[in-house]
Structure 1
Amino acid sequence: MATLMVMTFSSCCSQRPSISLVHPTKKATEAKNTNWREGLNSSLFVWWTQPPLMADVSEVVKRSMNINEKLGPRLKAAAEQNAILRIGWTNAGDPVPKNGELGLCPALPEGARLRALGVLGSWVAAFGTGGSFTIQGDAGSFLGAANQGTTIVCERMAGHYTGYHMETGSITVLDGTGDDTGACMSGGTLVVRGASGARIGGGMSGGLIVIHGDVGPDPGAGMTGGRIVINGRCPSPPPGVVLRPLAKKEVTEINKLLDDESLHVPSDAVCLTVQEGLLVERAGFAVSSGDLGQVGLLNEDKAPLRPYQTVDTVALIGLDEEVQSLALPLPMLPLVENGTTMNAGKDSAAVIGDVLNRHPAMVSQSPRAVDVLLIGMDNLLDVAKELPSAGGFALDLDRLPAMNAEQLDGLLVALRSLAKERVPVIFVEAISRIQALHTKAAYHGAQLAMARIEDGSGISEAASLPMTGRSKKEHLAGTTTQSGLLLGFSASGHDLAVLMASGVDVVSCAAPMAETEDIAYWLKGTQDDLGDELRRVGLSSIDMLDRKHLRALDHETAAVSGLRLAGYGRPLPHWFAR
């Protein structure tokens, strides 16, 4: 059989992200140097990830991107020749194991065959639609996430969230997995030989999980469908999950599906399934109590501009020279479910198409070339299809599992390998976690950090202004990362002017209507209103807006925002208290 090989990189850094099983009573140094796993209760294991040194991070990311870049054009040719692409060997066949590379081989196509050697990082072989991927070594978290047809085999351990949100395909891990294995699966087959961590199959709605080993606490938590078969010790399941023996017919069916005698399920294995119960409608979280109507805009130093004078309302997403910036006619990124809504119809006036075509939007489906694809759990399975046509992407961190720096790097490598070159990246997260959001965005080089107002905390728009300003000064000063707000209401020109004056760079909000022509009229009207606000206060550009132009029009707004109270001329005294 012909074999194609990928050029590899020498392992020049001694410390890379590595995954080990650690007993809580043993020191990490002992765990790394002794083989003490055999005979211990696997339910006591916790997953420990050795973080890379900061100096190594950019190098690991660059190496990972380079591997994906080289793989891209070879995958199709290798599939046509029925050849295997190899990662971790030289052209002469000598082993050069990988050590920490992450986000490798996203969206594997039908017919692709890959084999990797070494310890790989997070988000390996994610978004696959076919082919096969074998790892001779360990894998990090999110192995095979959003799988839709790829056959994945990991010959040693895998980290947390193995098979996350898998729809079809199969994943086999031969030496144990971490927490949340098979979380949010809707289909496919996941087989683990060895111990697995907490919340196995959490939130799954379909598919089959087979564990030949002990599992951690809360198995099947929140599951609404599917089966979890456990050939080992299993703690009591949480409410809503039933533990029962397997029927003979099920044993035969599962073993036929596995098609590997070494992984066959014995008759005394147990099965976790959903217990039918009452469906109770959830009440939801607190919402913001107001808008920005009680914040005034004035300029004591300048006279109004002429009503016909041109003003600059253009904003950019992406200030780095290395990024292909997105130009916004006004500092607003409308939130639209489907990008096709922004396409003018054949019978629409030319001016409608002109307004829509030059205005990017943030969409969840069918992005245009200028749109930003908002990525969350709901559309994770569509990423491989949708992302290549988008002008940028936004990670909805509230709608994805919590990730550490290495895991987030892995996801970014995978997504950047699928996206167009040099597109801007946006992080979206709750306003109540704005400091963590700004820290992450600056560390990972995101172009925009956008805080969501409606996060369930009830924090108002006025209260978010000082929170944003303080965090921006502390975490984004000296970087090219911009700050943004995702509002819970449709912004007006006045709202945009107030937010720009408070230091926000870009605003996003849902369009107040769903029809294409109505959205065009709303965008044009908002731009005109913003221009009128600028002319009224004597400013020719949104870049000239500053906090000194803002006034709180009532006592409550002044109390929560720290703005000067109109008439009083100063912030309220408690803002000066130490």
Structure 2
Amino acid sequence: MVDEVAKSLKLNRNLSNNLSKAIELDRAIKIGWGAQGDAKPKEGEVGIAPHLPDGARVRLLGNLGDFTAFCCKGGTFTLEGNALGWFGAFSSGGRLVVERDAGFRCGHGMTGGRLFCQGSVGDEAGAALNGGTLIVRGHAGQRTGIGMQDGTVIVVGDCKADAGQGMTGGRIIVDGRCLPEGEGALQRGLTKAEHKEINGLLKEHDLTVSEDAVVIEADASSSIPSTPPQKTVWGDFSDIGLISGEIPIDASSPIDVVTLLTRGEEDDGIVFPLPVLPELESGKGLSGSLLSEQPCLVEADPRGIDLVRIGETNVSNADSLLPNAAGVVLDLDDFPPLHDGEILALMTGLRSHLGDDKPTLIAGRVDRVTNLHRMLNDQPIDGAIIRLTSGLGMAAPAALPRIGLSARDAGVSETLHILDIPWGATADDAAIAAAAGCGIIRANPFEAEEEIPGTQKARAVAVENWLAEFSATLRGRLTDMGVDALEKLNRRHLRALEHDTAAQSGLRLAGYDRPLPQWMGQ
């Protein structure tokens, strides 16, 4: 896996270094051939050629893995070989060609451009399509166009069952055998006007569809309503106490609350002066005596010290966001379901923009923490943000042992954990999280506020004041506890203030000063 990522990053780096010059000279880049034209095909690289810009022309020989040419913005990309899943996903422009077969979810989430597969495609090709055109010369797998909202899918060959499942817009044209359409879709014949239009689109590919081709489109009378469970967390940490030490520290004593996030031993990493990651929509205008040094989690305009949260809504802009950022957080809750190999491929493509030496993190829900920890152990990922909110609605204190035991079992207890606090977080929440093994908390500084300041300057001032109060409260708490470094906190510093919290969390019950019997041995 490490070798696969390394060769993929190297290929993307070489492509990026040559791309601007090739566009300027209007030349195509050929990959997979030697200087004398001899074939040297690539094999298994992942996340290749992300975010191709207008004017780019790339031809690659070989068989590639997941997320090839995703988020294409323009130009052309031709693959002389096969591609695995998510080929051309999230593309907004350009012309993509795979000369053999493409795998699962080919063209997922496209909003523009054209993708042409000369072979066949796997299941769920064109899923969540919201524009653009996907043309398949061969056959298509099951659930083609699932969740389509707009755009056109043309299958010249056969199409397996459940095409158009849950679609709300767009159309699927099938000229071969077509098994029954999916729920929420209906099938009809091709009109003369559509027949002319579709053959006009296919002319440059030397293809045609017959007048007997069928159209699959949304059935407004048979939609599929789906309301996910509300993501909640029961309570907060107010029923967890922090033990004051027998001998406090002088209030003026030096206190070490700095946390470091690195990729390796020689990496300078990201320095967190306070154990909190404020989440804000944008990093623009964030400055102040504390704020200028404190990394934030943003979705736009990152500063050089900020982490960028990447989800389905902003992945197409990752090429402009990540080069200026200190690291990336891949939000798994904001993407369709991805298996480990697909996550690795997507992260590899993003790292091509971010740089090899900057940290990468994943974010997900506490009820899926075992899966997050497995990926932390198996993949080159540097940390995790764990959300307390979930469809399970777990009690907040109960999340702490679940995270700790899972991390211990996966062997990732020393990897940085950032606990996502969904309420108005305080310095005590940060101390409790640190004692439970989560070195930093993610917090919204305006969670408890009725209004968010309307200007950049006012917002920066408000966050600066919030950080100042956070810093003073944290210092006061640690000096009272007699602890001079945040990293010295552990579960022995925590007490459950009532029986239910002790039962949920495994913490020692205040006054009883030992875990409840059911937690003995854990």
TM-score, normalisation: structure 1? 0.84
What pairs up with 1:341-380 in 2 under 5 angstroms? 343-344=285-286, 353-380=288-315
Matched, 1:489 2:433: no
Answer yes or no: is 1:111 the counterpart of 2:55: yes
Does 1:190 pair with 2:134?
yes
Match of 1:155 among 95, 99, 104: 99
- Residue aligned with 1:441, SS: helix
Offset, 1:422: 1.2
Aligned residue number for residue 15 of structure 1: none
Answer whether contact 2:366 2:399 (CA < 8 A) is retained.
Answer: yes
Tell me if the contact between 1:445 and 1:481 (Cα under 8 Å) persists in the aligned partners. no
Partner in structure 1 of residue 147 of structure 2:
203
Q: 2:109 corresponds to which residue?
A: 165
Cα distance in 2 between the residues matched to 1:131 and 1:480: 44
Residues 388-423 of structure 1, C-alpha deviations (whole Å, 9 max, x = no match): 222111111122233333322221221111114411
* Structure 2 CA distance for partners of 1:480 and 1:497, relative to 1, 3 Å: closer
Q: What is the RMSD computed on CA atoms of the aligned residues?
A: 2.0
Q: Report 1:258-337 matches (<5 A).
A: 258-260=202-204, 262-277=206-221, 282=227, 284-300=229-245, 302-318=246-262, 320-321=264-265, 323-337=267-281
**Aligned ranges for residues 19-98 of structure 1 at < 5 Å?**
57-98=1-42
Kindly state the Cα deviation for residue 227 of structure 1 after the two structures are TM-superposed: 1.3
Please state how far the C-alpha of 1:176 moved relative to its aligned partner.
0.8
Q: 1:18 corresponds to which residue?
A: none
With over 3 angstroms needed to count, the CA separation of the structure-2 counterparts of 1:444 and 1:293, relative to structure 1, is: same
Counterpart secondary structure, 1:412? helix
Q: What secondary structure does 1:236 align onto?
A: coil
The equivalent position to 1:393 in structure 2, one of 328, 335, 342, is 328
Q: For 2:440, which of 488, 501, 506 is the aligned residue?
A: 506
Shift of 1:168: 1.2
Aligned match of 2:502: 558
- Report how far residue 322 of structure 1 moved: 5.0
Residue identity matched to 2:85? S
Q: Deviations over 1:139-173 (max 9, x none)?
A: 11111112121211101011111112211111111
Q: 1:536 and 1:511, CA in 2 relative to 1: closer, same or farther beyond 3 A?
A: same
State whether residues 78 and 85 of structure 1, in contact with CA within 8 Å, keep that contact through their aligned partners in structure 2: yes
SS in 1 for 2:398: helix
Contact 1:322/1:422 (8 A) holds in 2:
no
Distance 1:283 1:262, change over 3 A: closer
- Spell out, residue by residue over 1:423-454, the C-alpha distance to the aligned partner (whole angstroms, 9 max, x if none): 11011111111111011022112111222111
In 1, the alpha carbon distance for the partners of 2:288 and 2:439 equals 26
Secondary structure of 1:411's counterpart equals helix
Q: Do the aligned residues in 1 keep the contact of 2:4 with 2:44 (CA within 8 Å)?
A: yes
Amino acid at match of 2:487: D
Q: Which amino acid aligns with 2:242?
A: L
Deviates most, 509-518 or 124-133: 509-518
Contact 1:323-1:424 within 8 A present in 2 as well: no
Q: Does 1:419 align with 2:354?
A: yes
Equivalent positions of 1:237-252 (< 5 A) are 237-252=181-196
**Residue 517 of structure 2 is aligned to residue 573 of structure 1:** yes
Would the aligned equivalents of 2:263 and 2:359 in 1 still touch at CA under 8 Å? no
Moved more, 274-283 or 74-83: 274-283
Report the CA distance between 1:563 and its aligned residue.
Answer: 0.3
Deviation at 1:305, TM superposition (A): 1.5
Shift of 1:285: 2.0
Partner residue, 1:430: 365
Identify if the C-alpha distance between structure 1 residues 339 and 237 changes in structure 2 by more than 3 Å, giving closer, same or farther.
farther
- Answer yes or no: is the 8 Å Cα contact 1:147–1:166 preserved in 2: yes
CA-CA distance at 1:222 after TM superposition? 2.6
Match of 1:355, SS state, is: coil
Post-superposition offset of 1:577: 7.5
Question: 1:319–1:126: structure 2 CA closer, same or farther, 3 Å change rule?
Answer: closer
| Aligned mates of 1:239, 1:126 — CA distance in 2 | 28
Q: For the residues of structure 2 that align with 1:140 and 1:561, how far apart are their CA atoms?
A: 43
Deviations 1:196-243 (A, max 9, x none): 222211222211111122223332223222111112233333332222
Cα shift readout 1:16-36 (whole Å, capped 9, x = no counterpart)? xxxxxxxxxxxxxxxxxxxxx
**Structure 2 stretches of 5 or more lacking a match?**
454-458
- Cα 1:293–1:64 change in 2 (3 A) is same
How far the C-alpha of 1:319 sits from its partner, in A, is 5.7
In 2, are the aligned partners of 1:360 and 1:371 still within 8 Å (CA)?
Answer: yes
Amino acid at match of 2:427: G
Structure 2 CA distance for partners of 1:149 and 1:323, relative to 1, 3 Å: farther
AA aligned to 1:404 is H
Number of aligned residue pairs: 511
The residue type paired with residue 13 of structure 2 is: E
1:521 corresponds to which residue? 465
Residue 542 of structure 1: aligned partner: 486
Is contact 1:134–1:154 with CA below 8 Å preserved after alignment? yes
Cα shift at 1:260:
2.9
What do the CA deviations read for 1:289-314 (whole angstroms, capped 9, x no partner)? 100000000045x4111223332222
3-state DSSP of counterpart to 1:207: strand
Provide closer, same or farther for how the CA distance between residues 374 and 296 of structure 1 changes in structure 2, counting only shifts above 3 A.
same
- 1:115 Cα offset (Å): 0.9
Which of the residues 90, 97, 107 maps onto 1:146?
90
Q: CA 1:217–1:488 in structure 2 vs 1: closer, same or farther (change >3 Å)? A: farther
Change in Cα spacing, 1:231 to 1:322, as seen in structure 2 (3 Å) is: farther
Residue 467, structure 1, aligned to residue 402, structure 2 = yes
